[in-house]
Chains A and B, each alone.
Chain A
Amino acid sequence: MSKVLMKGNEAIGEAAIKAGCRYFFGYPITPQSELPEYLSWRLPEVGGVFLQAESEVAAINMVYGAAATGVRVMTSSSSPGISLKQEGISYLAGAELPCLIINIMRGGPGLGGIQPSQSDYFQATKGGGHGDYRLIVLAPASVQEIADLVKKGFDLADHYRMPALLLGDGMLGQMMEPVDFGTETSGDKFDHAWATTGKQGREHTNIINSLYLKPEELEAHNRRLEKKYLEIMKQETMAEQYLTEDAEVVIAAYGMTARITKAAVDMARREGIKAGVFRPITLWPFPQRELNEATQKAQVVLTVEMSLGQMVEDVQLALKGRLPVEFYGRVGGMVPTAEEVLNEVKKIVKRYQEAM
């Protein structure tokens, strides 16, 4: 297939269709509205259903119902709307239902603003809703990667029977880049014997549920989920490394911020500073092993985020004190520039000069 020029938000919609998703439930919110707008005409074109729900609470519960019947289904929102979806996300995790959730983040807390932000990292990777559960969290950094990760997200969700979340920011959603959607796929290859479709001659009833009143049974259920999560942590981590082989300063950043830091690294290299970028593509599971590999030559790791410091905690956990971890963040919709990041790198180099 050839490349087409597309906006990030619309590419999410087209990629979902190419992945065999025919059902979307959502509620409008900036900066992701181009996605539901796109799907509102595109889904009917391919025999699918687009429905604007009365709220994000309703939308995620429509997703819960749709997913229970074994179809590929998606919802999207931005930060305040994702907060409202947390109850439903916890139920999806508890009932082991696959779906893809999109969060095109904006600044918070509260109503916050509508400009790009990465301040929902904790919410995405550490829970958000109640209970011991995990989401597979994917963080694309280009429109092409959106297309690839939407497909991947649906596959992982179906394979592990759990919700996956694509975490982007307003910049990624709005920007236009060429994209190749590749071959069309679907969820058909996955087992859906568990789905509630009506008994249709089956002896037993299929039940979608997250209630276990006996503590022994709920513990067993939690243990089953844990086993799945441990397997994912072992099998599914993804990361990109940019000039890290000899890097003495490794910048850890994800999504659009990682692209900015790459530009900063190019500038640093021209000035003779051995810098590199480590970009987690899966935020959960966090690529711990890969980060340690990428920092073999490093003296210090600088985490850059559009937040007050959220992923930095996972960076520290992964390095287990092996290296000092510095942090630089912009918030509220302010986007760090490559020059700013370069400045930070230089300051850090000065501070750690002896070691280097």
Chain B
Amino acid sequence: MAVVFERPKSLKETKFHYCPGCHHGIIHRLVAEVIDELKLQEKTIAILPVGCAVLGYEYFDVDCIEAAHGRAPAVATGVKRCRPETFVFTYQGDGDLASIGTAEIIHAAARGENISVIYVNNAIYGMTGGQMAPTTLLGQKTTTSPQGRKAELTGYPLRVCEMLATLQGVTYLERTSVHDPKHVRKTKKAIKEAFQVQLAGKGFALVEVLSACPTNWRMSPERALDFVKNQMINYYPLGVFKSLEEVE
């Protein structure tokens, strides 16, 4: 019997702990598939965040470093500067990257560090039980914005791709989503593109993936897909914000 679908080599045989309908699992798989396809497993060092993906080192079958909350881009910088021959990526949530770790991500990008960043934006703090994130949409209810996020009190959601696009050090920026198969395929393509930027020594690349957190959004997995499609993409438009051709 021919095998038509199997576990990517770069994923261990450990069951994900993610909630039903969570997109972290899909995104892990895409990252692992790209690592396999580009034959990077033996030279990859993954930097994991503090957030729901903190246990990534139990899933990715590559060398892994668990970073402090938000500091993954600085850790990745240390790794890549000492071992330029390795392939280094960070995997970070929106609380990790866009709140506590804004300084680290902006300066890694501005320096044009030759690293790849997978930025998983689910507009909420998943791991700590659904508090407001800097990416939480206006009106969105969280455990720390029970009446819905109000601009007068907490300002406006942060658009990371748009912000980083202003930096000269950045080579590749794309925002994608995984709410349907078509967009899953597009996301994989974007991740591959980003990884190839690093392999070519062309500098900083980031893929922002809009992602569902049905548990803390208090939605069924199905309704969560609708929220991504109809609410999140509205505020966070998909697309390529910067690419290699533009830079060259």
Contact = CB atoms under 8 A, between A and B. Distances in A.
B82 A207 contact: no
Interface in B43-84: 43-45, 47, 54-55, 57, 60-68, 71, 74-83
Interface in A52-67: 53-55, 57-59, 61-67
Contacts of A205: 12, 57, 60-64
Given A54-B103, A58-B74, A211-B54, A199 B82 contact: no
Interface in A140-198: 196-198
Contacts of A73: 78, 82
Of the listed residues A63, A91, A201, A209, the one surrounded by the most CB atoms of chain B closer than 10 A to its CB is A209
A61 B74 CA distance: 6
Nearest to A71: B82
A91 B68 contact: yes
Interface in A12-60: 23, 25, 49, 51, 53-55, 57-59
A210 B57 CA distance: 12
Interface in B69-111: 71, 74-83, 86-87, 103-104, 106-107
Interface string A58-98: 11011111111101010000000000000110010001000
A186 to B, nearest CB: 14
Given A61-B71, A62-B77, A54 B63 contact: no
A88 B62 CA distance: 23
Contact of A61 (B54, B75, B82): B75
Interface string A228-239: 000000000000
B78 A198 contact: no
Contacts of B43: 198-200
A156 B68 CA distance: 25
Given A58-B104, A198-B45, A201-B42, A25 B63 contact: no
A118 B45 CA distance: 40
Of the listed residues A61, A67, A199, the one surrounded by the most CB atoms of chain B closer than 10 A to its CB is A61
A68 B65 contact: yes
B187 interface: no
Nearest to B12: A205
B41 interface: yes
Contact of B68 (A61, A196, A207): A61
Contacts of B67: 61, 64-65, 91
B81 A51 contact: yes
Contact of A69 (B12, B41, B79): B79
A73 B83 CA distance: 13
Nearest to A62: B78
A337 interface: no
Given A57-B71, A200-B42, A65 B78 contact: yes
Given A49-B82, A73-B82, A200-B42, A207 B75 contact: no
Contacts of B62: 198-199, 205
A207 B71 contact: no
Contacts of B74: 53, 57-59, 61-62, 64-65
Nearest to B57: A207
Contacts, number: 135
A57 B54 CA distance: 20
Nearest to A25: B78
A198 B71 CA distance: 20
B44 A64 contact: no
B186 to A, nearest CB: 28
A208 interface: yes
Nearest to B83: A69
Contacts of B60: 205
Interface in A211-228: 211
A86 B77 CA distance: 19
A88 B68 contact: yes
Contacts of A61: 67-68, 71, 74-75, 78, 104
A5 B75 CA distance: 36
A50 to B, nearest CB: 10
A334 B87 CA distance: 51
Contacts of A57: 71, 74, 103-104
Contacts of A211: 54-55, 66
A61 B75 CA distance: 5
A68 B71 contact: no
Contacts of B80: 65
B78 A207 contact: no
Contacts of B42: 198-201
A296 interface: no
Nearest to B71: A61
Nearest to B87: A198
A206 interface: yes
Contacts of A55: 103
Nearest to B48: A209
A90 to B, nearest CB: 9
28 contacts: A51-B77, A51-B81, A53-B74, A57-B104, A58-B103, A59-B74, A61-B74, A61-B75, A61-B104, A64-B68, A64-B78, A65-B78, A66-B79, A69-B86, A91-B68, A95-B66, A197-B83, A197-B86, A198-B43, A198-B45, A198-B62, A198-B63, A198-B87, A199-B63, A205-B57, A205-B61, A207-B57, A207-B63
A-B pairs, 5 with minimum CB distance: A65-B78, A61-B74, A62-B78, A65-B75, A54-B107
Given A58-B107, A88-B71, A199-B43, 5 more contacts: A58-B74, A61-B74, A62-B74, A65-B77, A199-B61
